[in-house]
Amino acid sequence: MWSCSRICTEGGDRVAEGKQRIIQKFVPGKQVTLAHILEFRPDTVIALGGGSAIDTGKAISFIYTKSSGAAKPRCIAIPTTSGTGSEVTSFSGLSDLEAGAKYPLVDDTMLPEIAMLDPALTVTVPAHVTADTGMDVLTHAVEAYASPAASDFTDTLAKKAFALVLEYLPRAFRDGQDCEAREKLHSASCMAGMAFNNATLGLCHGIAHAMGELLHLPHGRSNALLLPYRAGGGAGTHPTYYRADDRSGDCSAAYPGRRACPAEREDGRGSQTGAGGSLHCWQL
């Protein structure tokens, strides 16, 4: 994460002027002090990294502004994984490893002013991380689509993100150097982020956050374990939390590569989603 005192553009070339400070090698969940940023008083914060790094940059900027009364630094988010979509959301999740808890921050001012997507930054992501983060994207898309706050705009973004993940995640998992697959996943991550930022998420994500902290599981993997049982993320069929028409099954039915998962076992013991629809599983 970079804190820059001034960034300007001259003659089409990007030129950094003044002081710069780099905060690197931080461990997600460890204490991040505000002393440096309070002393440095930046006008721009560049958050480069995965979801935890970007969330930290957004949260530090937000808390700094509230604590100091200074003008909010411009936030530039550059994701290096295709998962959280944090570069286009007003959400931030901060972990407390000692308490085993994860605290969400939600404020419109945490939405980065600039998001830069470069899929080349993701080609070295290991296969297991690609799978975990990719399932986070899929969950964002499904829950946004099934949200009672969904709209025509969020539906369009969510369905496209869903389709891209199903087509290109297996390719990126098998071959990390597949540039087309990496590009499509990066786009899907951003689109799913825009969808859920406006439509909200559901119970699957709520449980996944708690489960991940307690069991030390990657967030995307927690979502992957829960999603077949809580597709759409609603609480039963309660209209406050779950769309009455339960369209989580619409996405899966549109994809011909699906296979049966525990949520639709023949013995009927698997959990069904909402009003009878189910999310199908795919094998990478």
Local structure of residue 107 (DSSP, 8 states): -
44 or 266, which is more confident: 44
> 205 falls in which pLDDT band (50, 70, 90)?
confident
What homologous superfamily does CATH list for 124-264?
A: Dehydroquinate synthase-like - alpha domain (1.20.1090.10)
Between 92-96, 99-103, 156-160, the lowest mean confidence (pLDDT) is in: 99-103
Question: Is-contact 282 166, C-beta < 8 A?
Answer: yes
Residue 278 has pLDDT above 50, yes or no: no
Q: Tell me what percent of the residues of the chain surpass a pLDDT of 70.
A: 68
The pLDDT-based confidence of 242 (bands split at 50, 70, 90) is low
* Residue pLDDT, tens place only, 20-67: 767 665 555 455 557 777 778 888 999 999 998 899 889 888 988 988
- Which comes out higher in pLDDT, residue 190 or 231? 190
pLDDT of residue 32: 55
Q: Which residue has the higher pLDDT, 104 or 183?
A: 183
Number of neighbours of residue 76 by Cβ within 10 angstroms: 20
* 8 A C-beta contact, residue 29 and residue 64: no
Contact between residue 6 and residue 43 where contact means Cβ atoms under 8 Å apart: yes
Tell which phi-psi region holds residue 20, choosing left (phi > 0), alpha (psi between -120 and 50) or beta.
beta
Q: 159 pLDDT exceeds 80?
A: yes
Architecture of domain 2-115: 3-Layer(aba) Sandwich (3.40)
Residues of the chain with CATH 1.20.1090.10: 124-264
Considering the chain, tell me which residue range(s) the CATH 3.40.50.1970 domain(s) occupy.
2-115
